[in-house]
Structure 1
Amino acid sequence: MSGAGEFPEMPPPEPVDLTNCDREPIHIPGSVQPHGVLLAVRADDDLTVVQVSANIAETLGREAAATIGRPLRELVGDAAAKAVRDVVRTAFDLRGAGPVDLVVGDGHDLRRYDALLHRVGEQVVIELQAARSTRPLSYSGTYARTRQSVLRLSSSSSLTELYDVVVEEVRRLTGFDRVMVYRFDAAWNGEVVAEAKLDRLNSFHGLHYPATDIPAQARALYERSWLRLIPDVDYRPVPLVPAVNIVTGGPLDLSDAWLRSVSPIHIEYLQNMGVTASMSISLLRDGRLWGLIACHHYSGRHEPGYEICAAAEFLGHLFSLRLVSRENEQTLESTLATREALDQILVEAQSGGALLVDVLTSGGPNLADLIDCGGVSVAIDGEYRTFGAVPPREAQRAAFDALGTEGAILACDALPRDAPHMAEHRDVACGILAFRLSGDEGVAWFRPETVRTVDWGGDPRNKELNAREAAGVRLSPRRSFDRWREVVRDRARPWSAHDLAIAAELRQHLLRLVYPGARRGADLARLMQESLLPERLPPIPGFEIEAWYDPAAAGRVGGDWYDAVPMPDGRVALIVGDVAGHGVAAAGTMAQLRNALRAYVVDVDPADPRPARSVLDRLDRLAAALLPEAIATVAVAVTDPVTGLAQIASSGHPPPVLLSAVGEPVVVEVEIAPPVGAAIPGLAATRPPATAGEAVDAPGGWTARVRLAPGDALALFSDGLTERRTEAPDVGIERLRAQADGAAAAHPDLRGLGDSLFRTCRDPDNDDDATLLLLRRRPPHQP
């Protein structure tokens, strides 16, 4: 191959401006920045080259087209190729194994490079940058650069001090003209909360920036790649050769590439700010993007060496850990104070010396001491009391009717917007946090309007301007970043997660206190069940997960439950169970079985070849010993997010359905052991036919193995979703399988798919509760 023209070309990309930048595929730009060289190779013995950046001749002396199809050793030499091959063969995560110290050339022409490696499917991407200091890099060398910074961060006594220290130390380390901590709010707007800069520069501290400045796909890449360097904003992108990756038949995914080219809209945005070089370090909390350390330079090209960038990234990680620690300490202090007040209120409420509504609203402490507010109202057992400033009771009812649902915690900080009839009460009730106990009874906290000023870096409503280009007009990023002040009205101070948690806990306590006899029993059973169903399912890397639960008719509490339990080795156990019976007894049995199963899942031996079957066997032994009257069906799917392998076992429970992205849905063939609590000693298991699953020998029942490919989904469900009184159980399962075939194509979003299955498969006359748990492996490139 001698010319780039021999390779297939990619179709020209859609021109990007502010009308479509939120959809720009920034992970496949087809080019790299020129401060290094990129090679994509097959993960074979020869590390055969399949794609390179067009500037490879400047580094390795070979024209780009002439390298395609050649073994890596012909480009970098035997020793360097062996060093790369050894890392590829032994490292679990190539990104964590770098940089590889490579010496290229011979004789007097020896050049040293840092080689950064990562995998893209069946390929390995190699990025070469000239080494600038002593190699190989070492932990002690990196720590020596950051020792002072580590000591300062560790001794910081407040969040404000922590912010100030990290920007000062990153600027000292990297030499950028300006370094900022940029914090996101719940709507992804950003605020500069700390800054270190040259004295001659105007300050950005306290300025806010709209969420559109960093669109969703860019935030997703920040969560994935924690450091991003642009040494020269005015660089010319270097295309990849060939443009079409010969392994995938499409563009090369550069999500994890150090050299990945930058969106032209982002480049224009930086140029409009006068920035000539930039770097960003991601700040994460619980795996989610919290903010950025943003570095700007204004006096030409600026490229800190890789060792400096690695040290700055290390500081960013340490700062994230210290940030979480300090926030947790502050939350703990607040929680302890609130807990003390709640305990005092509950002790007095249980003493019976005064009406419950009086205990909650008069004297001290009362409900206003649990959650900061302007006023609180309580309606219980026909009595109504208030404390502080609250709107008329009819207005309260109307607000809850418009916004709330039975059993849910209602939280709103913009009542004039969401319930316009409340606008006249904004002086006392611009925000509401409330819950119903039953009917017209419940508790509500109110907050007044908080008029505040927000300083933006430019007018956020004019975040774009019309730029004339030739005969057309395009939308380009704004050019003015002068401080622009906005007065925000019709908003109350937002309710925190801590506020919502206290309200939910108080509701549980009041339900136990208020209702005697049968009413109390029914509510208690429902409360027990609600408390056992997860408020939210844990995030699973590379997967989507959603759950649906529909209670039994006439308010009866059934025995369904679902769960997703993270395991210490990174796997996740998906669980759907159904205890026989209804009411308090069923809810109590469900609680014991559910909690025991969670413990067994966390305690499972990572080397156990049949973890799903093992935990169900342990649960059955527990039921036989301690719950002899209990009968329950349970399905468990232990899933590895890395490989997509799900190991499935069932004790009396309907088999899961596999929704393949490329074929028809199938019912997973798994031998169903007796229900928990109903095993018959000495009963021999027979091996079932395996179509969708691969059977694994295991005493007391077989385990099916299903590997979820990208786009595949696994559905676990209870019999309340599929069964009808006039049909055999298999008929309902087949109906679910058939409905899933059409629904998967009609509803690409997982929530819509589950809604459709519930709507079409659930018998409206079925008086049992119903559960559906869907897990889907994300298709390629889906954030």
Structure 2
Amino acid sequence: MNPALQRALDACSSEQIHLSAAIQPHGHLISCQLPDWTIRHVSANVESLTGAPPEAMLRHSLREFLTDDLIQSIAETIGFGEPGAPPQRAAVANIGLLAHLCDVSVHVADGLVHIEIEPQPRSAGERSPTVVAQTMIARVANSANIADFNQRVAEQVRLLTGYDRVMVYRFRHDDAGEVVAESRDSELTSYLGLRYPASDIPAQARALYLRNRIRVIPDARYTPVPIVPDRDARGMPLDLSQHALRSVSPVHLEYLANMGVAASMSISIIAGGRLWGLIACHHRVPRRVPPGVRAAADLFGLFVSMRIASREQQHAAAVEEEARSVRDTLALRLANASTPRMALAGELDLLVRAVDCEGAGLLQDGHWHSAGRAPAETSVPSLLAWLRREGVGTGGVVSTERAETWAGSLEAADGLAGVLAVPLDLGRDEWLFFFRCEQVEDVRWAGSPETPFVIDEEGDKIGPRASFAAWHETVRGLSAPWCDADFRVVERLHLVVRERYRRTGPQVDASDIHSRHARLDLRSQRHRLMQLSELLNGLVHVSPEEAAKLSQRINLLETELQGLIGPMAAEA
């Protein structure tokens, strides 16, 4: 890679975008310290709201500038929240000498109460965000498949917000993004199917999308408003990670300008604790989105996240059930074999059913056995050389998705790419392999992925590319990536095989086998419970009756878990 580009990429990836020391100009910020509501920070534009310049507000009590009723609403809102939680709407109130109608949100972070205030145009009122979100949910709930669901999601968000373009943008395993659904004005060029390099949304930005479910830029051509002072009591920059008004990176604003976007909004889709994707909204002219609309979009985004997480959980459960059936069958067959170790070669077709793959291979006593799509025996030296390069002394599972890594060339791989290797006996170079075919893709990039940024003549300033024209690339030699579920399935298979592979008599300790199975079962259940917990975090708008039913089920589950823990603790 060009050294100047690498320096620029490193600078972009290390940019501390949460310490921008400024907000967007469509709102105001007041940060206070309890218990006396002493004002520690304000935005430089606060005088237009309160009539008092920043210097006249700092170190004074908030009670001098806001009514007791409004402060009481703020106090009640933070009383229900937790430090570090996203901002919550506290009130709609008239503020200042001119009685501006404002939407007020609040959150607590780093020992301060952060109050974000957005003046609103006077209107006849707005529908309840919950009612709006419920209507949207009803329109997408019966989608036939994930593609139809994504498309309906894009259409509903565009209907709600009025943006020119709304996209469902999914992150891939390599952090590149792809537009999987789109609703747009007919005059706009379609972005559907375009892929964007991972550098378009660097890691620190993805981390903030996890914390801020809704991000809005009403006018991408804005001038940032400084925070006064820009340092906290410790002399550190004010952390704006949770601030809805936080000023965004200049690189991102230039990126939007190059796309012809004057206003944007994003809704995070979070599944399994990771950023699955975004609902990205673009508009050609500046556009304000009322807080009530944003609240409805947030609720709808929670539903979308839960639906996607639920689909993934259902798929994982189905895969695990099939793998469990294969394990039970394999264990029975090997247990009944006169020589379990030698019987394994005849069970490769069964093993292919347990793992998401196209073929399997077994290297045993110098002989190669295979089932399904697997390389010829002539590839064994290359496979062993790859394993030695990976350092296999620890006896762990080794994997790759790239054909050239283990085969040396695409031609030698003969249409295969992914390999997952399980050690059986390192002393004898005996291995169990699972193979995946390569996925030949004709990728349409939004601009060339080789030049994701533009570097100035000095090589020290980075800017986003100016062209987003479709750039075609044929990708060869890669398989679908091995995921955590694949490794869990293989780890359990490995345990079943390992229990019997070296067995020549009754020396295997049955209690030890039972204990190892129990540990794996509990680890799997823990993973599922963590996913369930993430789903429950979003269920903040269920009715009291639904909450009571859910509580009964959770109490029953808790009782069952305590019953399991008791005997295990006694055994320990």
Instruction: Report the TM-score, using the length of structure 1 for normalisation.
Output: 0.62
Aligned to 2:269: 283
Q: Which structure is larger by alpha-carbon Rg, 1 or 2? A: 1
CA contact (8 A) 2:340 2:503 kept: no
CA contact (8 A) 1:374 1:428 kept: no
> Which of 241, 253, 258 pairs up with 2:244?
258
Alignment of 1:135-534 (within 5 A): 141-245=128-232, 247-298=233-284, 300-352=285-337, 360-361=345-346, 366-379=350-363, 384-388=368-372, 389-392=374-377, 393-403=380-390, 404-417=392-405, 419=406, 421=408, 425-427=412-414, 429-438=416-425, 439=427, 440-467=429-456, 474-516=461-503, 521=508, 525=512, 532=519
Aligned to 1:70: 60
**Secondary structure of the corresponding residue to residue 156 of structure 2:** helix
Q: Does 1:60 align with 2:50?
A: yes
CA contact (8 A) 1:34 1:235 kept: yes
CA contact (8 A) 1:508 1:527 kept: no
Alignment of 1:15-54 (within 5 A): 18=9, 20-45=11-36, 47-54=37-44
CA contact (8 A) 2:213 2:267 kept: yes
Alignment of 1:761-780 (within 5 A): none
CA distance in 2, matches of 1:456, 1:97: 38
CA contact (8 A) 2:40 2:59 kept: yes
CA contact (8 A) 2:129 2:296 kept: yes
Question: Cα–Cα, structure 1 residues 105 and 61, in superposed 2: closer, same or farther, change >3 Å?
Answer: closer
How far apart are 1:509 and its partner, in Å?
1.4
CA distance in 1, matches of 2:459, 2:440: 42
How far apart are 1:219 and its partner, in Å?
1.1
The aligned amino acid for 1:325 is S
Aligned to 2:551: none
Question: Cα–Cα, structure 1 residues 95 and 449, in superposed 2: closer, same or farther, change >3 Å?
Answer: closer
The aligned amino acid for 1:252 is L
The aligned amino acid for 2:431 is G
CA contact (8 A) 1:33 1:261 kept: yes
CA distance in 2, matches of 1:302, 1:565: 38
CA distance in 2, matches of 1:352, 1:100: 72
The aligned amino acid for 1:120 is A
CA distance in 1, matches of 2:450, 2:430: 43
CA distance in 1, matches of 2:181, 2:221: 27
CA distance in 2, matches of 1:379, 1:18: 43
Aligned to 1:117: 106
**Secondary structure of the corresponding residue to residue 430 of structure 1:** strand
CA distance in 2, matches of 1:168, 1:566: 28
CA distance in 2, matches of 1:504, 1:376: 15
CA contact (8 A) 1:95 1:116 kept: no
More helix by share: 2
Which is worse superposed, 384-393 or 29-38?
Answer: 384-393
CA distance in 2, matches of 1:524, 1:414: 40
CA contact (8 A) 2:77 2:90 kept: no
CA distance in 2, matches of 1:78, 1:232: 33
How far apart are 1:512 and its partner, in Å?
2.4
Question: Cα–Cα, structure 1 residues 244 and 98, in superposed 2: closer, same or farther, change >3 Å?
Answer: same
> Which of 123, 126, 136 pairs up with 2:115?
126
Question: Cα–Cα, structure 1 residues 258 and 373, in superposed 2: closer, same or farther, change >3 Å?
Answer: closer
The aligned amino acid for 2:164 is D
Any gaps of 5 or more consecutive residues in structure 1? Answer: 1-15, 540-563, 570-598, 605-614, 633-783
CA distance in 2, matches of 1:342, 1:208: 39
CA distance in 2, matches of 1:357, 1:296: 62
Aligned to 1:718: none
CA distance in 1, matches of 2:409, 2:189: 42
Question: Cα–Cα, structure 1 residues 89 and 311, in superposed 2: closer, same or farther, change >3 Å?
Answer: closer
The aligned amino acid for 2:38 is T
Question: Cα–Cα, structure 1 residues 156 and 274, in superposed 2: closer, same or farther, change >3 Å?
Answer: same
Any gaps of 5 or more consecutive residues in structure 2? Answer: 1-6, 535-557
Instruction: Report the TM-score, using the length of structure 2 for normalisation.
Output: 0.83
> RMSD between aligned alpha carbons?
3.7
How far apart are 1:412 and its partner, in Å?
1.2
The aligned amino acid for 1:352 is A
How far apart are 1:54 and its partner, in Å?
1.1
CA distance in 2, matches of 1:499, 1:213: 29
CA contact (8 A) 1:163 1:193 kept: yes
Alignment of 1:574-613 (within 5 A): 603=562
**Secondary structure of the corresponding residue to residue 461 of structure 2:** strand
How far apart are 1:76 and its partner, in Å?
2.3
**Secondary structure of the corresponding residue to residue 240 of structure 2:** coil
CA distance in 2, matches of 1:181, 1:215: 18
CA distance in 2, matches of 1:39, 1:310: 21
CA distance in 1, matches of 2:504, 2:218: 72
CA contact (8 A) 2:341 2:503 kept: no
How far apart are 1:70 and its partner, in Å?
1.7
Once the two structures are aligned, what percentage of the paired residues are identical?
32
**Secondary structure of the corresponding residue to residue 242 of structure 2:** coil
How far apart are 1:515 and its partner, in Å?
2.6
**Secondary structure of the corresponding residue to residue 76 of structure 1:** coil
How far apart are 1:530 and its partner, in Å?
9.2
